[in-house]
């Protein structure tokens, strides 16, 4: 859970609350991502991807927990454990119509809408569009993530570098640490057999993340 917070730039403990629920003041709050509280500290890739989308709504001024009814109905109607990680629900006409119907049924607040009506057309809400542009899909399922879409060579892949941001399989943090230690980008490029521009992208990504 702390890794999810760090990778998504969330305040400490946020991922745990959204993914697995929490207790505050003697009151139990159900999770937004999981169907029920499990106590499991390790997030699945699907849970990580859905939390990435929720992160786009964090400043909406409406508690994320209020999105739970819509996600629950989406999970049931699409028969998908992770409906927010399926691009079809946002980019296809049928998917957008389904999401709109569910939003209306549960009375989802305007600030949390996933699809909206503009010029008589259903389109992705701005947070969803940002999310879709930051995720790579394979057959409609999220398989990789771009932590910074401005640097498309840097990717988060659950099958590489333990899920850390990386260029191919080399963590960006490792590359940046070598630069801080005095190694030149040219030497690192030769060491890992990476194009120089990809090494530079890794260093730039880590600088932006630290900032």
CATH classification of the domain holding 163? 1.10.10
87 in the same domain as 24: yes
CA atoms in the 13 A half-sphere facing the CB of 156: 22
Domain boundary among 119, 142, 165: 142
Domain boundary among 92, 119, 142: 142
Owning domain of residue 18 = 1-142
At residue 171, the pLDDT reads 97
Dihedral (C-alpha) 208, 144, 141, 57: value to the nearest 10 degrees? -20
- Give the span between the Cα atoms of 141 and 54, in whole angstroms: 17
98 in the same domain as 180: no
At residue 52, the pLDDT reads 97
150 in the same domain as 121: no
Asked if residues 56 and 21 have their Cβ atoms less than 8 Å apart, the reply is no
What integer best gives the mean pLDDT of the chain?
A: 96
115 in the same domain as 25: yes
115 in the same domain as 63: yes
Dihedral (C-alpha) 132, 134, 136, 141: value to the nearest 10 degrees? -40
Strand blocks (E) in the chain: 22-24, 27-29, 115-118, 121-124, 135-138, 141-145, 154-155, 166-167, 170-171
166 in the same domain as 132: no
Using DSSP, how many helices (H) and how many strands (E) does the chain show?
A: 10, 9
At residue 98, the pLDDT reads 97
At residue 210, the pLDDT reads 85
165 in the same domain as 150: yes
Domain boundary among 111, 127, 142: 142
Tokens matching residue 96:
């957008």
Tokens matching residue 15:
């991922």
Q: How many domains does the chain have?
A: 2
160 in the same domain as 128: no
153 in the same domain as 111: no
At residue 211, the pLDDT reads 79
47 in the same domain as 14: yes
131 in the same domain as 28: yes
78 in the same domain as 11: yes
| Backbone angle region of 80, left / alpha / beta, with phi > 0 → left and psi within -120 to 50 → alpha | beta
Low-confidence ranges of the chain (pLDDT < 50): none
């Amino acid at each position: 859970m702390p890794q999810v917070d760090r990778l998504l730039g969330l305040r400490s403990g946020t991922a745990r609350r959204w993914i697995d629920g929490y207790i505050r003041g003697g009151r139990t709050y159900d999770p937004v991502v999981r169907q029920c509280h499990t106590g499991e500290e390790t997030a699945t890739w699907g849970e990580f991807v859905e939390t990435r989308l929720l992160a786009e709504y964090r400043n909406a001024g409406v508690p994320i927990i209020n999105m739970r009814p819509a996600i629950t109905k989406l999970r049931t109607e699409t028969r998908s454990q992770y409906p927010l990680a399926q691009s079809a629900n946002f980019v296809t006409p049928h998917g957008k119509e389904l999401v709109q119907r569910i939003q209306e049924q549960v009375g989802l607040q305007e600030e949390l809408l996933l699809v909206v009506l503009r010029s008589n057309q259903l389109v992705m809400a701005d947070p969803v569009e940002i999310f879709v542009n930051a995720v790579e899909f394979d057959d409609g399922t999220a398989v990789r993530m771009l932590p910074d879409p401005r640097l498309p060579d840097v990717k988060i892949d659950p099958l590489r570098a333990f899920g850390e941001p990386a260029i191919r399989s080399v963590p960006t943090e490792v590359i940046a640490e070598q630069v801080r230690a005095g190694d030149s980008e040219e030497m690192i490029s030769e060491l890992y057999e990476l194009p120089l521009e990809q090494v530079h992208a890794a260093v730039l990504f880590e600088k932006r993340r630290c900032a």
